[in-house]
Structures are given as structure tokens and as C-alpha cells.
Amino acid sequence: MIVKAEPLRSAYEYAYRQLDKHGRGREIDRVMQKAIEETAQSVKGRLYNETRKMYTIKRSEFKESDIGVSRVSAWRPRAVLRITGATLGLRKAYRTRKNGKRKGASAMVRNDGSMKELILDAGGKEYKAFLAVIKNKSKDGKDSIHKGIFQRDPEKFMKKDNRPAAQKRKPTKKRKPKQAINEIASLSRSKAAEMAYRKKVGDVAHSELIFHMQKCIDEVIGGGK
């Protein structure tokens, strides 16, 4: 996700006229640079807080420092807020509950939502999500453990078992291969922030810039401290 903080031409002209009336027109670039820097930091904090309010994304998976702000130069008064990152595993990043004896695993992604059981209906059959622990061996022989929320995919099937032990078994009655298992993912940091920006932050971003611009103008012409 990329957010640009830059003044409209009309705002730039207004700021110049205000400064020029007091003989400070030459300081327009410095004023705009400072106003945009302050706006970018304000929008960054607001965006982070609103994203956390809107989604159950965990602090360990989304920090304010994950929102990068580009440097603002006097010759090009513009700041760019950038949030990157891959799609996050549901269990790792959001509020979830493991499966029980009768119910599948549940998740709550939106703070204004509820904990819902994750069930996929396909072909008249229900596929319930479940918490599982997967052990992987790395090249150095060490085991790594990964916990996630998984679900069977009715449209994909597991590959044939080619392990030596499986090949030694006597052939049995041909059976349908089992459906493949996929980890359930949810919104990435950038997508969650994008939704928060659209619903909560975007409409006030321009007014934030006008506020900081006027504040910086007042500081230059002696109207503020």
C-alpha cells in the first residue's frame, strides 16, 4: 500500500500568498516541507491506530515502524507512506480459536465481528478448519515447528506417496486420494491498512495537511511559537 501526502496547487498558492504578504514568500518551500513532514507522521500514527482498531491483527505482526515514511525534500514537497509485506497466516496474525471435539477452528478478523467457525461447503460436504502443528527439517537437520489453521481443499488432491516405506507396501484396493491441505491466510498488513485508510483516515488526511500548513505559516510570520 502506498499513500502520498502532498499539497494541492490551490493550497500551495494560498500558503505563498500568506507568506508573501509579510515579505516571507521565499520561505514557501521550507514551510511546505515542514508541514508535510508533520502531516506524514500524524497520518502514520492515525493509520496505525485505526488499523489496529478495525482488525484483530496482533501487535507482534504489525508495528507502527512497519509503516515507512519517505524523506521530504524542499524542492519536492511530498511524502510517501509505504506498507509492504506478504499475506499473513490466520493463526499467526489474527485472533483465532483452535478446533474442539465438535467444532472446527474459529477466527475473528474484524474487531466489530464475532468468532466464527471456519467451514467450507463443497459438493454437499463440510470441510472444517483445524489447528495443526507441522514439523519441517532444514538442511542442517534441525526441526522447525509451524502452527497454523488448515483446511482440506476439495478441488486439489495429495500427490502419490513416493516414500520408500510406502513403495514396499503391498498394493491394496484402489482408493481415492485425499484432498490436499492448505493453510488459511488472511489480510496482509498492507491490505488491512488500505481498508483502514479508505474508511477512517483518507477523508481527514487533507485537513491534517491544511492544519499543519497553517501552523507552519503562523510560526514563520510570528503568529505562533
**Got the DSSP string for 153-174?**
EEEEEPPP--SHHHHHSPP-S-
What are the pLDDT digits (tens) for 93-131? 999 999 998 899 999 999 999 999 999 998 888 999 999
pTM, two decimals, is: 0.80
Tens of pLDDT, residue by residue over 24-34, are 999 999 999 99
Return the number of other C-beta atoms located less than 10 Å from residue 23's C-beta: 9
Show the CA angle centred on residue 39, arms to residues 15 and 60, nearest 5°: 175
Q: List, for the chain, all residue ranges whose pLDDT scores fall below the cut of 70.
A: 160-176, 223-225
Count of alpha carbons within 13 angstroms of residue 135, beta-carbon side: 3
Spatial separation of the C-alpha atoms in residues 188 and 56, rounded to whole Å: 12
What's the confidence (pLDDT) of residue 180?
A: 86
